[in-house]
Amino acid sequence: MSETLAESMEARAEEFRSAYGRVKAEIARVIVGHDEIVHGVLTCLFVGGHALLEGVPGLGKTLLVRTLADAIDLKFNRIQFTPDLMPADIIGTNVVMELPDGRRVFEFQPGPIFSQIVLADEINRATPKTQSALLETMQEHSVTVGGTIHRLQEPFFVMATQNPIEQEGTYPLPEAQLDRFLLKLVVGYSTREELSTILDRTTRGERPSAQKVMDGPTLLRHQALVRDVIIASHVQDYAIRMALATHPKGPYAPDVTNQYVRWGSSPRGAQTLVLAAKVRALLDGRYNVSFEDLRRVYLPALRHRILLNFEAQAEGIDPDEVLLKILDAVPEKATTQAA
């Protein structure tokens, strides 16, 4: 790398860290704690992927997404998912319009998905038919109605929330849709100190809010930088083997995979590992991905991309437990040539 190019990369990386810090600081004015969850959401933002936040009600999942939308100068819409929500309620539909001369024509009326940050609140409350309406938008960033393709404005993100406890009136997300989410973030309870700060902020008349600190074109520029971060071939091979190790009966599958996993990660899992690790590298002041970067993003990148078998469910084992054992079984240095 030439000296001029290195200086340019360093300047861009410093701008990236500064922008990331400003957005995170604005979120911290409203959201208390949950640093790893905030980092996961911001990783999705700076990579250009979608996020799924899972947690019981009242932990601030919706507030986090709304606060993120307040800090970024992008169009924001919230869609409250319910069992009676129809696909047309999300993507829009063609309606008959009467022209001044009396003729009638079909005109497309866009739905709330035509935004840039879309909060899909309690996404698992909608029927599979309605959930499937999001598949094209999440993958292609477009909507097809009546044979016409309507492009969504970039950048575009779906930030979805779901409640893992209450099962009545809910519909599990299809595997194909889960795979479209870059990261699945599990939101836990606040600590004693965090609860004290939350009460101080919310029971004394204070109304903290985030200010807009970044716009769409700037965000797209940072997303391009993430893809410019270098990953060495042997580090990339580690990411590949981390994903392949989730495939039961495969050449890289450890015993725990063969025992508990029914279906492993898709290629999107390996893509996510590399992209999320590149964000970690930039934030640490490096322009190359390390083994540790990959390990730090392993759980949120793959926990929604493996399907456990009946034995795991019967023993009450969750995906994170299996993934951690798989991670321990994957060596940094390949013992055989990767396929």
* pLDDT tens profile 245-269: 999 988 988 999 998 999 989 999 9
What is the pLDDT, as a whole number, of residue 100? 79
Higher local confidence (pLDDT), 134 or 335: 134
Domain with CATH 1.10.8.80 in the chain: 229-339
pLDDT category of residue 96 using cuts at 50, 70 and 90: confident
Three-state DSSP at 182 gives: strand
Q: Measuring CA to CA, how many Å separate 207 from each of 31, 45, 69, 210?
A: 12, 25, 17, 10
For the whole model, what pTM was predicted?
0.86
Q: Measuring CA to CA, how many Å separate 229 from each of 87, 112, 289?
A: 38, 34, 7
Average pLDDT over residues 201-223: 84
What is the pLDDT, as a whole number, of residue 164? 78
Cα 223–225–228 angle (5° rounding)?
120
pLDDT category of residue 338 using cuts at 50, 70 and 90: very low
Of 156, 175, 161, nearest in space to 113 by CA: 156
Residues 6+ apart with CB under 8 A from 246: 253, 257, 261, 264, 265, 269, 302, 305, 306, 323, 326
Flag whether pLDDT at 2 surpasses 60.
Answer: no
pLDDT category of residue 279 using cuts at 50, 70 and 90: very high
Percent of the chain topping pLDDT 70: 96
What is the pLDDT, as a whole number, of residue 274? 94
Average pLDDT over residues 174-201: 86
Rounded Cα–Cα distance for residues 55 and 216 (Å): 29
| Beta strand ranges found along the chain (DSSP E) | 50-54, 72-73, 76-80, 92-98, 104-110, 117-121, 142-145, 148-151, 157-162, 181-186, 214-215, 261-263, 307-308
- List the CATH code of the domain at 1-83+117-126+153-228: 3.40.50.300
Backbone angles phi, psi at 77, to 5 degrees: -135, 145
Flag whether pLDDT at 64 surpasses 80.
Answer: yes
229-339 CATH fold: Helicase, Ruva Protein; domain 3 (1.10.8)
Backbone angles phi, psi at 107, to 5 degrees: -130, 135
Domain with CATH 3.40.50.300 in the chain: 1-83+117-126+153-228
